[in-house]
Amino acid sequence: MLEPVGDETPETGVVLSDNPATGRPIAGVRLDTEASYEQVLSEAIAGFDRWRRVPAPVRGQVVRAIGEELRRYLVPLGELVALEVGKIRAEGIGEVQETIDIADFAVGLSRQLYGKTMPSERPEHRMLEQWLPLGPVGVITAFNFPNAVWGWNAMLGAVCGDSLIWKPSLLAPLTAIATNAIAERVAREMGHEGVFNLVIGTDDVVGERLIHDGRVPLISATGSCRMGRHVGAVVARRLGRTLLELGGNNAIIVEPDADLDLAFEGTFFGAVGTAGQRCTTTRRLIVHESIAETLTERLVEAYKDVKIGDPLDRSTLVGPLINSRSVDQFLRAIEQAKQQGGEVLVGGERVTGDGLGGHFVRPTIIRAPASGPFPISHEETFAPILYIFSYRDLDEAIAMQNDVDQGLSSAIFAGSVRATERFLSPAGTGSDCGLAYVNLGTSGAEIGGAFGGEKDTGGGRESGSDAWRQYMRRQTVTINHGSSMRLAQGIEFGASS
């Protein structure tokens, strides 16, 4: 299994997408079969063969039109995200905005797929690199960013000349259908079919088939570390490429001279936002002992007041977890934390009541034991649980922040440049994560930077900067424009030598 399916057994050939705020189904979606997978694959292969021939800046114009259409659908699509996965409306709309942003980025990129030129050691020779379309790209996404993570991959892949085969989470198929339909329709109306393809199915029928499929040179997958290990191994066996964006266990360090208002706000959004269901969620707060009480009290007070409820209600800050299994995992983690010496300061329970028939829990703060192991804090529980630790000196804090298997996001709040530079040390002895923030929380990356992490997070980089290169193949070109054959390294070879 790549990802746990919802509560449905898809043996009926249909998966129900539930509204996590009510626990009731919104719609049933027919699952792809082996035969329909084949059909989609052949469309994606044919689509790739046409699309690769379209000049990149023209591909960029198609992506520009998709971005424009997404702008028109920003609110309804954002609300669909909120309805289907339970993130609050503002965050649902923010997620679609993230796709629009990456579309804009990709349009510019479509004229900047630069290759290098390099001097040849031989006279009358020229060397250069060119970047070529790669092929149909498989994109496997998780429920928690059912629109934007596809956007990162699809908008870049499209300007690079690839076609896309999107396998969304079975917990969020409706957002995928709506999103892909927009992109596919815009491309088709501009004369380009088969670029944006969707397969919705179980891991057994669709997921396994996709990752084993030698016709798909790159699999970009977002999800758990367990899933990523499996995908990585299967794709490596066929010498394909992977781009993995897996779990995080992100910490914020707060130095004694930090601006506590900023530290409070960064932690509050990082830990409570999206009900703790971002891979970038702040899961650990590592606070200097001199300010630990003050900051903890302030957070506990804010957690008590946080408005939990219908994600579409504009006053709500915390929506539901995705399903009952997530609620069980939340409760189990809290039990384990208590057994391991953690002290629950606020939260720790399910929330029920009027309009709260779905999978609601109270955001939770747990103070870690003063010493000794606290293994639960090494796990990524996809729920709003914040573990608070205190420390004496910064080296100790950095060691604590790095002492987990995952390496996605990290943050420091500090006034002193010495502390922040220690955290960002160019020797690599500071944060060991792919993302490092100063006076900002761990979540909410902009699209312009490369996004991803080290260690068990999988090493992939998506979104901005030079992540586009992974969606292309590099060709090193050497041209002899003279009339004699000269071998590299000065080798003489032949009858006359």
147 phi, psi to nearest 5 deg: -120, -50
Measured in residues, the chain has a length of 497
**DSSP for 187-251, written as a single string:** HHHTT--SSEEE----IIIIIHHHHH-TT--EEEEES-HHHHHHHHHHHHHTT-EEEEE----EE
Q: Side chain identity at 463, as an amino acid letter?
A: S
DSSP letter string over 284-296?
A: EEEEETTTHHHHH
Q: Give Cβ neighbours of residue 292 (< 8 Å, ≥ 6 apart).
A: 388, 390
Residue number, 149 or 216, with CB nearest to ligand UN1: 149
> 6 near 171, Cβ under 8 Å?
yes
CA distance 391 to 27: 49
Q: What is the nearest approach in angstroms of ligand UN1 to the Cβ of residue 280?
A: 4
Residue, CB closest to ligand UN1: 445
Per-residue CA distances from 380 to 32, 177, 386, 468 (Å): 31, 29, 11, 29
User: Which parts of 396-453 are beta strand (E)?
Assistant: 406-407, 409-413, 435-438, 450-451
Given the rule CB under 6 A, which residues bind ligand UN1?
Answer: 98, 144-145, 149, 222, 278-280, 443-445
**CA pair distance 301, 363, nearest whole angstrom:** 12
Say if CB 3 and CB 165 are below 8 A apart. no
The CA distance from 337 to 374, in Å, is 7
- Cα distance between residue 93 and residue 82, in whole Å: 8
CB of 457 to ligand UN1, least distance (A): 10
The bridge status of strand 450-451 relative to strand 241-245 is unpaired
Nearer to ligand UN1, 347 or 441 (CB): 441
Rounded least distance, CB 460 to ligand UN1, Å: 11
Residues 6+ apart with CB under 8 A from 152: 99, 102, 447, 451, 462, 463, 467
What tokens does 322 get?
């995705």
171/368 with CB nearer ligand UN1: 171
Nearer residue to ligand UN1 within complex by CB, 149 or 334: 149
Between CA 178 and CA 90 the distance in angstroms is: 19
Catalytic residue, candidates 3, 84, 184, 279: 279
Beta pairing class for 454-455 and 406-407:
antiparallel
Which of 245, 255, 380, 462 is an active site residue?
245
396 part of the active site: no
Catalytic annotation on 225?
no
Which residue number, 65 or 450, has a Cβ lying nearer to ligand UN1?
450
Return the structure tokens found at 411: 């943050």
- Say how far apart CA 251 and CA 379 lie, in whole Å: 12
Q: Are 171 and 29 in contact (CB under 8 A)?
A: no
- Contact yes or no for 105/464 (Cβ under 8 A): yes
Q: How far is the CB of 459 from ligand UN1 (least distance, A)?
A: 15
Query: Minimum CB separation from ligand UN1 for residue 447, in Å?
Result: 7
Q: Looking up tokens 């529980």, which residue turns up?
A: 381
Taking the complex as a whole, the smallest distance from the CB of residue 251 to ligand UN1 amounts, in Å, to 15
The least distance separating ligand UN1 from the CB of residue 229, rounded to whole angstroms, comes to 17
The helix/strand/coil state of 315 is coil
Q: How far is the CB of 359 from ligand UN1 (least distance, A)?
A: 18
What is the closest distance, in whole angstroms, from the C-beta atom of residue 130 to ligand UN1 in the complex? 31
Residue positions annotated with a catalytic role: 245, 279
